[in-house]
Structure 1
């Protein structure tokens, strides 16, 4: 990936070992490989290719407007002794090309674990002009200072979630505060935006990084499935995670997550599957909307 090309559709192959000792990805029951991994590989690849191949200037901030990871076969995602190999066939299509430089990329990928096709990943990446980015951040920050309104009939839980209730083992990885539960079964919880939290990892952005947004919604979906719908969290996996982002979350302002369950169903092979809709809010502004499916393994 060291050359440049014209603004036309391009295909790439990416190969990587799935992490075995990551402080977040491998924290918990460790029965399945975490969907964080292919999402992060796709993000890094799209950013690298956009600058090296499609000549997008480094000073243009990159924004992921939407992203989705889906499991199409569960067994290859199960952890086995020794390292596992992830391969991604990625197609990147430039959009809104101006003077030979794209203002965005459409990303599509097929996922293989140990050579077996078992998932897909997609993303829509937008490159903003610096002034547009600054205006967007300034307008969003004004709305983020507004008042967040939770459920009027909400009841505050007695304690913050334990790590095992959100699919982790290390309490330091828990991003959720004490939930408020409405009579309709909606959960609203404040998300930790403390940059000292280890989930932030090596993030260098001036906004709440995508990893924190992904992990907080993952934890909220598992908490809802386990505490209110009887799922055994230690043997659950997210079979789909699909997000649309409307803005940036500011690290010095409160961030809240709403979680609402859909109708309980079953996967094609009969496993209980609970759809969950989540939204992230900062003040009077919605940051993201996420649809996911919590799958109960046997």
Structure 2
């Protein structure tokens, strides 16, 4: 596997070369692909933290896996580059957080990728479930599963127009503005990287905030899309969970490291309608349950595990085998 240059940005659906993390892809038999990724030493979004910069953000490595879903589809299944893609579900766990510690050079990861399931219609393949095992050196840094599907652009346009019409929305979405929480309360330095409003807490421990979609963000909106991207929804869950955990005294916001996540996307999230993100009561040692609602419908639901990156026993908080892995 080579780490000297990135894969073509078009292959991984990125507009900025700087946001391409994959450097190589090799097929290893039927349904097996090896990916290579180089993680930057200081990323403007994923490494923006008030806490100690000791570990790579697991969501950065997840983004490398997400880029791999396009490589598998385009390069090895001949899905045309113009097709549209959507996430169905995302899961990951960090079995060995120490593997994510920074080194003295950019981190090189090898990501084993296996096709777990092929989704089909009468016209042929329409999606995949991929399982990823990302290793840094000899250590497993991330285990992940992603379900996703694709369709021709004309089908996408017809589907999206019908969905927006049903909600009484125009065909040209414009993101709703909104206030944002103090960056320190989600462990961030840069206010531009905050994606939730100040949350409201109810008496039963439920916290609710608005998800703020900023289409000028150079990473979360690397290129134009007509809806709220899945990775932005995951970030909303992470930030609200961090806020809730900090408020309950479980994990301080600057030191919160996501070590497990499982999210299912139920429908598109529109950027020009209020989008409410909620967390259930935070209980010590338990995953934090999260939901996303819009116009009375469930958009996404999941759970996230946070660990304190300064804990002496951090190597033991990855959740254990099978906690967050896809079935």
Q: Tell me the TM-score normalized by structure 2.
A: 0.75
Match of 1:181 among 184, 201, 208: 201
**Residue correspondence of structure 1 range 37-48 to structure 2 within 5 A:** 37-48=60-71
| Residue-by-residue CA offset, 1:52-90 (whole Å, 9 max, x unaligned) | 211223444211101112101121112233322221111
> Does structure 1 conserve the Cα–Cα contact (< 8 Å) formed by 2:61 and 2:142?
no
Report what 1:95 is aligned to.
118
For 2:234, what is the secondary structure of its paired residue? helix
**Partner in structure 2 of residue 286 of structure 1:** 298
The separation in 2 between residues aligned to 1:228 and 1:52, in whole angstroms, is 47
What's the offset of the Cα at 1:24?
Answer: 0.3
> What is the Cα deviation at residue 217 of structure 1?
1.2
User: Does 1:79 find its partner at 2:112?
Assistant: no
- Shift in Å, 1:175: 1.1
User: Counterpart of 2:308?
Assistant: 296
After TM superposition, list the pairs within 5 Å mapping 1:199-218 onto structure 2: 199-218=219-238
Q: Cα distance, 1:257 vs. partner?
A: 0.5
Measured at CA, do residues 229 and 135 of structure 1 come closer, stay the same or move farther in structure 2, by a change above 3 Å?
A: farther
The change in CA–CA distance for 1:201 and 1:136 in structure 2 (over 3 A counts) is: closer
* Residue of structure 2 equivalent to 1:270: none
The answer to whether structure 1 residue 56 and structure 2 residue 97 are counterparts is no
The SS at the match of 1:200 is coil
2:187 matched to 1:167?
Answer: yes
Residues 185 and 243 in structure 2, CA contact (< 8 A), matched pair in contact too: yes
Alpha-carbon distance between aligned partners in 2 of 1:4 and 1:22, rounded to the nearest angstrom: 29
Contact 1:186–1:259 (CA under 8 A) maintained in structure 2: yes
Provide the rounded CA distance (Å) in 1 between the counterparts of 2:234 and 2:119. Answer: 28
1:122-271 correspondence to structure 2 within 5 Å: 122-128=145-151, 133-134=156-157, 136-138=159-161, 140-141=163-164, 161-265=181-285
Task: Calculate the aligned-residue CA RMSD, in Å.
Answer: 2.8
Q: For each residue in 1:220-268, what CA deviation from the matched residue of structure 2 results, as whole angstroms up to 9, or x when unmatched?
A: 1101100123421222211101110012222222222111135322xxx
Equivalent runs, 1:98-109 vs 2, <5 Å: 101-109=124-132
Give the match for residue 323 of structure 2. Answer: none
Per residue, is there more strand in 1 or in 2?
1
The 8 Å contact of residues 36 and 109 in structure 2, kept in 1 or not, is answered as yes
Q: Tell me, in whole angstroms, the C-alpha distance in 2 between the residues paired with 1:76 and 1:118.
A: 5
Is the partner of 1:229 in helix, strand or coil? coil
Q: Structure 1 residues 171, 200: CA separation in 2 closer, same or farther (over 3 Å shift)? A: same
Q: Which deviates more, 27-36 or 92-101?
A: 92-101
Residues 141 and 259 (structure 1), Cα distance of their counterparts in 2 relative to 1, 3 Å cut:
farther
Are the aligned partners of 2:180 and 2:195 in contact in 1 as well (CA < 8 Å)? no
Unaligned runs of 5+ in 1: 147-158, 266-273
User: Is residue 241–residue 291 contact of structure 1 (8 Å, CA) maintained in 2?
Assistant: yes
SS state at 1:192 partner: coil
User: Using a 3 Å threshold, how does the CA distance of structure 1 residues 48 and 199 change in structure 2: closer, same or farther?
Assistant: closer
Query: Would you say the 8 A contact 1:84–1:114 is kept in 2?
Result: no
Residue 276 of structure 1 is matched in structure 2 by 288
Q: 3-state DSSP class of the match of 2:246?
A: helix
Normalised by the length of structure 1, the TM-score is 0.82
For residues 133-164 of structure 1, what are the alpha-carbon distances to aligned partners after superposition, in whole Å with 9 as ceiling and x for unaligned? Answer: 44543454367669xxxxxxxxxxxx953212
Number of equivalences: 276
* Unaligned runs of at least 5 residues, structure 2: 1-23, 170-178, 312-327
Deviation at 1:172, TM superposition (A): 1.7
| CA shift in 2, pair 1:247/1:136, >3 Å | farther
**Per the alignment, in what secondary structure is the counterpart of residue 45 of structure 1?**
helix
Quote how far apart the aligned CAs of 1:35 are.
Answer: 1.6
